[in-house]
Amino acid sequence: MTDRPATGGRSVAIWFFAGTTLALGTLLAVLLWALLASGLIGPLGLFIASTVRPAGSVTAIGASPPPPPATATPALPSVQPGSVSTPNPTVPPLTPAAPTVARSATATAQASGTTVGRVGTAIESDTWQFLLTSVDVAPAATGRRVAVTFSIKNNGSRAATLSIPRTREALPPRSPASRDASAAFQPVQFVEPPALTLRIEDANGSEYGGGFLSATGEENGNFTFLSAPGDAIDLAYVFPLPIAAIDPLVLKVRFGIGAGSISRTIPLLHGYRASPALRSSDAPDIRGREQRIEVGEIWSLTALSLTTASGPNRSKRVTLHLSAENRTTRPLVVGATLDDPTGQDRDFYIVDAAGVLAYSAGESMPRNVIPPRAVRTVDVPLEAPEAFANAGPYRVTVIVSPRYNLFARFRLD
């Protein structure tokens, strides 16, 4: 028996496929029209494109696509203070750039952020006056050595203390038993807060510290000025600068709390000399040779004479011969008080006619103990540079207690 072909079933399948295709096409056309009408076709296309990855690529789940690489912004040439430059990021200059013009000392001082002091003009802070009197620069093994001298004056009406510390890091001792070199220049008395600091700043803003120049020409560190009212002294300060220090240089002068809190910068000019320096004021309480001064109810002091002799390293040894009467009922070190019997808060200094200072050092401060109601002659040793005069007039000051405004002054011709 021969089978007949199933022509009816085939026609049904063809009609079913055609109808389904027409329906799907109509649905897609409607969706496409809706996307075009709503404006969503663009974002949808970008989304589909972003999800298509080349073979082998992996996209982390939940991770955002990496941002496009940032376009590098061409750097603009910086304009330094005092330099000649015209920024132009797109067109290169046809001629070489102009060289940088070095800042002046005044510009460097202004850049430090403190008020610029006038050269040759005293800085006043509370009752203190400061005047830069000379600047000298000399070559050194590691760079150069800047030496400045200045006058400091107590312009108030009472005795006062001004501590001027070393601002350069101290060198390590040569041996464990070595004494701090600053003791050679610092009296036995100490003041808690430093009242005046000195530093040098160069054109790059780098700061360098220094220390005091002793009578023997060494940088010995700190100095504490226990002063009578109206007294002025001249001091020397030395700054060792490295080769990296760039001119111009300025001196940064800062008075601390309790001394006026004034800050100034002064341009440093090699070879500068100020005339005149600060000088001590005349005072009615100054006595002459062999004239007695009563200091409170503690001491009766008389300046007898003064002698000078050559010292080590081109220095001078100065000796004040002083008569001291202890008016109390207790034994006291010469110049001490009842609440300070060892004399930690006392000082002796002498200034010649040119302002050169002879100072009492800590290790050479007189230790003579005067019995109650007794009179003794005491030799007070002092140190001075070679320039200290061999003949008067001299202004001699004995500080008994700055806190209680106790002092004695003499004039020796």
In this structure, are 259 and 111 located in the same domain? yes
Average pLDDT of the residues in 274-291: 91
In this structure, are 256 and 299 located in the same domain? no
Whether residue 251 lies inside any domain: the answer is yes
- Rg (Cα) of the chain, in Å, rounded? 42
CATH of the domain at 252: 2.60.40.1240
pLDDT digits (tens, 9 = 90+) for 103-148: 555 555 555 456 776 778 899 999 999 999 999 999 999 999 999 9
Alpha-carbon distances, residue 28 vs 35, 38, 43 (angstroms): 10, 15, 18
d(CA 262, CA 254): 6
In this structure, are 263 and 119 located in the same domain? yes
In this structure, are 123 and 261 located in the same domain? yes
In this structure, are 131 and 222 located in the same domain? yes
Lowest mean pLDDT among 160-174, 311-325, 327-341, 372-386: 160-174
Average pLDDT of the residues in 242-266: 96
Q: What's the token pair of residue 369?
A: 């103990």
Residue 64 has pLDDT above 50, yes or no: no
Domain boundary pick from 252, 267, 282: 267
In this structure, are 317 and 253 located in the same domain? no
Domain boundary pick from 251, 267, 283: 267
Average pLDDT of the residues in 62-78: 43
Measure CA 137 to chain center. 20
CB-side neighbour CA atoms (13 Å) of 148: 24
In this structure, are 296 and 403 located in the same domain? yes
CATH of the domain at 335: 2.60.40
pLDDT digits (tens, 9 = 90+) for 336-381: 999 999 898 999 999 999 999 999 987 889 999 999 999 999 999 9
In this structure, are 190 and 223 located in the same domain? yes
Contact 324/314 with Cβ under 8 angstroms? no
Whether residue 281 lies inside any domain: the answer is no
CB-side neighbour CA atoms (13 Å) of 262: 16
d(CA 46, CA 52): 10
Q: Which amino acid is at 47?
A: F
pLDDT digits (tens, 9 = 90+) for 27-53: 666 666 665 555 555 555 544 544 444
In this structure, are 306 and 215 located in the same domain? no
Whether residue 38 lies inside any domain: the answer is no
Whether residue 243 lies inside any domain: the answer is yes
In this prediction, residue 37 carries a pLDDT of 59
In this structure, are 263 and 296 located in the same domain? no
Instruction: Write down the mean pLDDT value for the chain.
Output: 78
Q: Which domain holds residue 260?
A: 105-170+180-267
Confidence class for position 219, pLDDT limits 50, 70, 90: confident
Lowest mean pLDDT among 189-198, 294-303, 308-317, 400-409: 189-198
Pick from 121, 301, 107: nearest CA to 204? 107
Whether residue 231 lies inside any domain: the answer is yes
In this prediction, residue 276 carries a pLDDT of 82
Whether residue 276 lies inside any domain: the answer is no
pLDDT digits (tens, 9 = 90+) for 79-105: 333 333 333 333 333 333 333 334 555
Confidence class for position 15, pLDDT limits 50, 70, 90: low
- Torsional class of 143: left (φ above 0), alpha (ψ -120 to 50), beta (otherwise): left
In this structure, are 159 and 306 located in the same domain? no
Q: What's the token pair of residue 67?
A: 């941002």
Whether residue 140 lies inside any domain: the answer is yes
Whether residue 85 lies inside any domain: the answer is no
Structurally, the chain folds into a number of domains equal to 2
Domain boundary pick from 267, 284, 318: 267
pLDDT digits (tens, 9 = 90+) for 177-212: 323 334 334 444 444 545 899 999 999 999 999 999
In this prediction, residue 384 carries a pLDDT of 97
* DSSP-derived secondary structure for 291-321: -EEEETTTEEEEEEEEEEEE-GGGEEEEEEE
In this structure, are 165 and 229 located in the same domain? yes
